Amino acid sequence: MHRVLSYAAYGSLALGGIMHFIIDVVSHHLRSKRIPGPETTLYYGINTAYALGLVLFGLVGLLLIRKAPGLLVQWPMMTLSLAASAGWMAICLLFFDYKEPRAGVVIFASLVLASFFTRPSWSKEPQVRV
């Protein structure tokens, strides 16, 4: 279950980044929805950077699942993933007026937490008995 949830978390993150880029950058450019100017440059820049961050983090997560699954069950990877999702949520709240990117970040964070709590028993830190 842990492996499936990990694949779902990082796979949906990479797919969501690709879709965000296609919908918010490529389609707007092809349909000429924005008048050329500094605001348009900033709009395309923030959406491209956001989508690229999602795709790269998702692909690195998928690579780690495949090559080093033991890293995903440790605290640093979960902390890094949750910190990244907090950063993406801050970008969504500050710069995006629509709710879809926020929902994607919440889904990613939920899947990361679910995969962490369903990790194999051999990977959990030993309990100290007093």
> What's the pLDDT tens digit per position in 56-104?
999 999 999 899 878 877 888 889 999 999 999 999 999 888 888 899 9
Residue 129: band (very low, low, confident or very high) from pLDDT cuts 50, 70, 90 = low
Mean pLDDT of the chain: 87
Q: pLDDT digits over 14-26, tens only?
A: 999 999 999 988 9
User: Residue holding tokens 């629509």?
Assistant: 98
Output Rg (C-alpha) for the chain, integer angstroms: 17
Assess contact for 47 and 27: CB atoms under 8 A. Answer: no
Over residues 45-63, the mean pLDDT reads 93
Number of Cβ atoms within 10 Å of the Cβ of 44: 16
The reported pLDDT for the residue numbered 24 is 87
